[in-house]
Amino acid sequence: MTLFPEMFPGSLGCSLAGKALADGLWRLETVDIRGFAGDKHRTVDDAPFGGGPGMVMRPDVLDRVITEAAGPGPVIYLSPRGRLLDQARVKTLAAGPGVSLLCGRYEGVDERAIEARGIEELSLGDFVLSGGEPAAIALIDACVRLLPGVIGDQATLAEESFEDGLLEYPHYTRPQVWEGRAVPEVLLSGHHDRIRQWRQEQREKATRERRPDLWERRLASQGAEPGPKNG
Ligand code: 4GY
């Protein structure tokens, strides 16, 4: 549900997601919110009560589009005010019957529409897009790649980040030396146990250094005490 239906399928028409779309492994229906306006000028927004800049999307228009056009599964509004999206939510959505995504523009939507219709609000992160559409495309992409048959190699999915709350290990390919930088020796050794151990250490180091929030959560879930030693 968008004021810019021409933004879809966008990147979802390309690569793995696009092939899966063409193969019928998933479907995308784009609904033009403007088609649910109530007047001849097809008005969907109005000035904010209380003043301030910009325009707000009208709750009556949003109610009509949700009632008449939402599919099976939850209705989700993508905004920086939402709970942070994570891989666990993506997995649940991908396993479900579908999802209806409401894409905001301008200053956003009238809060009453969100409340009254029990709409789930999710955020991709602490930054502001000019509209919900790129976030919707990202959410759909994350779900579609989990659908059976979209990614050929299931090992790729099982091994990746967030399966166990750690970031991925670093990857290397040819050339063996590039701009004076050699590939870590252990990866050329053929010692698969040592390679596995090295990669696990690299994952832990990267998570500790780059995402202390994930590292703390992992320690907490293992019952460790946070602080200078384990922090
Ligand atoms: N960040 N995560 C995000 C976003 C655009 C004004 C409300 C985000 O999910 N969506 O920045 N969305 C805004 C634009 C209306 C949505």
How far, in Å, is the centroid of ligand 1 from the Cα of 102? 11
- For 32-44, how does the pLDDT look when each residue is reduced to its tens digit (9 = 90+)? 999 999 999 999 9
Q: Are 54 and 45 in contact (CB under 8 A)?
A: no
Between residues 162 and 214, which one has the greater pLDDT? 214
Q: Is 131 in the pocket of ligand 1 (CB under 6 A)?
A: yes
Please work out, in degrees rounded to the nearest 5, the angle formed at the alpha carbon of residue 127 by the alpha carbons of 161 and 69: 85
Q: What is the pLDDT of residues 172-221, one digit of tens each?
A: 999 999 999 999 999 999 999 999 999 999 999 999 999 999 999 999 99
Asked whether the bond before 59 is cis by omega within 30 degrees of 0, the reply is: no
Instruction: For ligand 1, pick from 7, 33, 62, 78 the residue to mutate: most ligand atoms within 8 Å of CB.
Output: 78
Looking at residue 230, what is its pLDDT? 47
- Taking CA atoms only, the protein residue closest to ligand 1 atom 14 is 131
| Residues 68 and 36 sit within 8 Å (Cβ to Cβ) | yes
Give the rounded percent of residues in the chain with a pLDDT score beyond 70.
Answer: 97
pTM: 0.95
Burial code (b: 16+ CB inside 10 Å, e: under 16) for 134-154 equals bbbbbbbbbbbbeeeebeeee
Question: Using a 6 Å cutoff on CB, does residue 62 contact ligand 1?
Answer: no
